Homo-oligomer: A and B are copies of this chain.
Amino acid sequence: MGIATVCLSGTLDDKLTAAAAAGFDGVEIFEPDLVAAADTPEDVRARCADLGLTIDLYQPLRDFEAVPPPLLAANLRRAEHKFQVMERLGADLLLVCSTVHPDSVDDDDLAAEHLHLLSERAAAHGVRIAYEALAWGRHVSTFDRAWRIVRRADHPSLGLCLDSFHILSRGSDTSAIRVIPPEKLFFLQLADAPRLDMDVLQWSRHHRLFPGQGAFDLAAFLRTVLDTGYTGPLSLEVFNDVFRQSDPRVAAVDALRSLLGLQEGASVDTALPAPPRLDGVAFVEIGAGPGADAEVAGALDALGFTRSGEHRSKPVDLWEQGSARILVNRAAAAEGATAVAAIAVESTDPPASARRAERLLAPILPRHTQAGEADLAAVAAPGGTSVFFCRTFFSGTDFSGTDFNGTDTDAGWRADFAPTGAPAETGAGLHSVDHVALTQQTDDFDGAALFYRTVFGLDPETPAEVAAPFGLMRSLALADARHRVRIALSVAAVRRGGWAPAVPHPQHVAFATDDITAAATRLRAAGLLLEIPANYYEDLDARLAPPPERLDLLRDHELLYDRDADGEFLHCYTPVLGSRVFFEVVQRTGGYLGYGALNAPVRMAAHRRDRLRRSA
């Protein structure tokens, strides 16, 4: 598996180091990376050998074919220089992109003749040529036309390079790939992309993504290519404005993870354990520093949670209601700070989930388990959240809130908590965690989506965009097929500067209920119900014309509201607790599967007001 250096940020050496550390065994050297480097081609060759990287491709040679004789002569001279560089690099495959030169002509015979000439020169240096149709090529913009030219040129050192972006961005029929003999398929470049209706060159240069992060059906594409008998490298070539400036060590891991996920999707044997079924969120652990811990506890109490357990060796409390469980960890966070420290999901096979995560390059977290405590496999997710896989209800036992067994490690993570003996509250009717919402740093967003998609086996839902008071937000929720585990990711469209970042990177846990007014009533009694402005209800009335008594109920309980063809969504919020965590209560009716994205700006403005009022 390989990666083009253009995918990653930094100097050439930064890129090679990151690619090797992630586990790639090959690279495409993007010429501008070499040109700006102080290392000679011989140095780069040695460095790659040290790192265990083969140089699978040198790229690109542009604007070569079907040009007038003087330009052809200059192009051959240029190519000759590059062959020499490649010999010094120890690279034997050169990418030639279909020309965009204004002086080129629309003549496949001439293109074939010129490529034959180039291949003959290349062969003298032990170099082969991989010809690729750019989606915006002046005359050659489709792979099948490029293939006809390669056939016509008929030179053993000339073959085809297929690039998924150039093919799928045009919506080309990929079935014609099947006629290409595998020995003429010299190289395969893979890139995903979101569906954008824009100039294809700009789309390609700025918005490519790693496989699984975009909208292309790359698994089907890869399957088609592999079915030809292609056995060459699977190599990523992704131009992306964010990846170009983010830590290459992180991006390279995302890249390799994406290739593993893609191969699994294309039914290539990757030795990845299939994702075990997820049955829900076992618990969410919130780190809450001094001061913030009381705020979080107060909100949980107001929401009807019972503090049912105390960890046997750590300053961690267990709060429960129905199958919604929150751990409040007072150990790690700074004063006033809050964060979603961990998400534990119920897996039908926790060890297999953990093995899958590890195979997908998720960093395994060191644990400090004491004798008799559950050995939960934990991995680090992007954005500083840990992930656990567990089975709260084991061996068919329906575990009740008071039935602890502190000595049996088979009893799972709950055995680590000594029961407080607190009587279970009647509660407020919350029955489970509906979703966990995590705002990502700019550089982590696409990587986080890929992480939850591949490691958890979740499916991405439709991306959304919200015009929030302090800037545009993008969001993407992922869920399993049964909607037992939902992770909602969001990111500021522009990395925030100094102006009014109301709450930096907020996170929240949403609890599901069938009686949201009960929860709202309790929150209000505790002074912890976020106030929604009258203007919102007036607009709601204008837009959706709910029955008057329904509107009154919403207004009286500070509930936000959405509906679609499948059902309704009612939700309310606590204030921000500590630095950035809050709770949401949601009630879904019918088949509503969204998150009330339309209401997000109203919620954000309300949180802003609430913070200003509390700090006044």
- Interface centre among A14, A85, A497, A543, by most chain B C-beta atoms within 10 angstroms, is A497
Instruction: Known A494-B242, A542-B78; judge A36-B469 contact (CB<8 A).
Output: yes
Return the CB mask of A225-254 against B: 1 if under 8 Å, else 0: 000000000000000011011111000000
Return the CB mask of A390-414 against B: 1 if under 8 Å, else 0: 0000000000000000000000000
Minimum C-beta distance from A386 to chain B (A): 20
Q: Determine, out of A182-190, A338-346, A528-536, the stretch whose residues face the partner at the interface.
A: A528-536
Q: Please tell me which one of the listed residues B198, B497, B500, B545 contacts residue A442 in the complex, with CB atoms under 8 A apart.
A: B497
Instruction: Known A542-B81, A542-B82; judge A605-B247 contact (CB<8 A).
Output: no
Please tell me if the beta carbons of A470 and B535 are within 8 angstroms of each other in the complex.
no
> With A and B bound together, what is the CA distance between A6 and B471 in angstroms?
11
Q: Determine, out of A27-35, A46-54, A98-106, the stretch whose residues face the partner at the interface.
A: A27-35
Minimum C-beta distance from A553 to chain B (A): 19
> Which B residues are in CB contact (< 8 Å) with A40?
534-535
Please tell me if the beta carbons of A467 and B32 are within 8 angstroms of each other in the complex.
yes
Decide yes or no whether A609 CB sits under 8 A from chain B: yes
Minimum C-beta distance from A278 to chain B (A): 31
Q: Which residue of B lies closest to A533 (CB)?
A: B38
> Which B residues are in CB contact (< 8 Å) with A78?
542-543
Decide yes or no whether A566 CB sits under 8 A from chain B: no
> With A and B bound together, what is the CA distance between A498 and B500 in angstroms?
20
Return the CB mask of A178-197 against B: 1 if under 8 Å, else 0: 00000000000000000011
Please tell me if the beta carbons of A535 and B500 are within 8 angstroms of each other in the complex.
no
Q: Please tell me which one of the listed residues B11, B198, B531 contacts residue A199 in the complex, with CB atoms under 8 A apart.
A: B198
Return the CB mask of A533-569 against B: 1 if under 8 Å, else 0: 1111011011101000000000000000000000000
Please tell me if the beta carbons of A77 and B38 are within 8 angstroms of each other in the complex.
no
Return the CB mask of A485-514 against B: 1 if under 8 Å, else 0: 000000011111111100000000000000
Please tell me if the beta carbons of A605 and B36 are within 8 angstroms of each other in the complex.
yes
Instruction: Known A34-B535, A35-B539, A36-B602; judge A246-B499 contact (CB<8 A).
Output: yes
Return the CB mask of A300-314 against B: 1 if under 8 Å, else 0: 000000000000000
> Which B residues are in CB contact (< 8 Å) with A494?
241-242, 244-245, 442, 495
Return the CB mask of A593-613 against B: 1 if under 8 Å, else 0: 000000001101110110000
Please tell me if the beta carbons of B36 and A497 are within 8 angstroms of each other in the complex.
no
> Which B residues are in CB contact (< 8 Å) with A323?
none
Minimum C-beta distance from A521 to chain B (A): 22
Please tell me if the beta carbons of A81 and B541 are within 8 angstroms of each other in the complex.
yes
> Which B residues are in CB contact (< 8 Å) with A533?
35-38
> Which B residues are in CB contact (< 8 Å) with A196?
198-199, 202
> With A and B bound together, what is the CA distance between A78 and B601 in angstroms?
21
Return the CB mask of A319-360 against B: 1 if under 8 Å, else 0: 000000000000000000000000000000000000000000
> With A and B bound together, what is the CA distance between A608 and B9 in angstroms?
13
Please tell me if the beta carbons of B539 and A601 are within 8 angstroms of each other in the complex.
no
> Which B residues are in CB contact (< 8 Å) with A241?
471-472, 493-494
Decide yes or no whether A21 CB sits under 8 A from chain B: no
> With A and B bound together, what is the CA distance between A242 and B472 in angstroms?
9
Decide yes or no whether A10 CB sits under 8 A from chain B: yes
> Which B residues are in CB contact (< 8 Å) with A584?
none
Instruction: Known A38-B609, A74-B545, A492-B245; judge A9-B471 contact (CB<8 A).
Output: yes
Decide yes or no whether A443 CB sits under 8 A from chain B: yes
Decide yes or no whether A169 CB sits under 8 A from chain B: no
Decide yes or no whether A174 CB sits under 8 A from chain B: no
Decide yes or no whether A17 CB sits under 8 A from chain B: no
Return the CB mask of A422-446 against B: 1 if under 8 Å, else 0: 0000000000000000000111000
Minimum C-beta distance from A320 to chain B (A): 35
> With A and B bound together, what is the CA distance between A531 and B37 in angstroms?
11
Minimum C-beta distance from A240 to chain B (A): 10
Q: Please tell me which one of the listed residues B6, B9, B499 contacts residue A245 in the complex, with CB atoms under 8 A apart.
A: B499
Within 8 A of B (CB), among A159-212: 196-199, 202, 206
> Which B residues are in CB contact (< 8 Å) with A244?
467, 470-472, 494
Please tell me if the beta carbons of B472 and A536 are within 8 angstroms of each other in the complex.
no
> Which B residues are in CB contact (< 8 Å) with A498?
247
Q: Which residue of B lies closest to A444 (CB)?
A: B497
Please tell me if the beta carbons of B9 and A499 are within 8 angstroms of each other in the complex.
yes
Please tell me if the beta carbons of B443 and A605 are within 8 angstroms of each other in the complex.
no
> Which B residues are in CB contact (< 8 Å) with A497?
245-246, 441-443, 495
> Which B residues are in CB contact (< 8 Å) with A470?
9-10, 244-245
Minimum C-beta distance from A51 to chain B (A): 19
> Which B residues are in CB contact (< 8 Å) with A605?
11, 36-38
Please tell me if the beta carbons of A245 and B199 are within 8 angstroms of each other in the complex.
no
Minimum C-beta distance from A184 to chain B (A): 28
Minimum C-beta distance from A27 to chain B (A): 16
Q: Please tell me which one of the listed residues B36, B85, B541, B604 contacts residue A601 in the complex, with CB atoms under 8 A apart.
A: B36
Within 8 A of B (CB), among A72-86: 74, 77-78, 81-82, 85
12 pairs from A and B in contact (CB 8 Å cutoff): A10-B470, A36-B533, A36-B606, A37-B535, A38-B606, A77-B545, A81-B542, A85-B538, A196-B202, A241-B494, A245-B492, A495-B495
Please list the residues of chain A having a beta carbon within 8 angstroms of any beta carbon in chain B: 6, 9-11, 14, 31-32, 34-38, 40-41, 74, 77-78, 81-82, 85, 196-199, 202, 206, 241-242, 244-248, 441-443, 467, 469-472, 492-500, 531, 533-536, 538-539, 541-543, 545, 601-602, 604-606, 608-609
Task: Pick the 6 closest A-B CB pairs, nearest first.
Answer: A245-B471, A198-B198, A81-B542, A197-B199, A36-B605, A495-B495
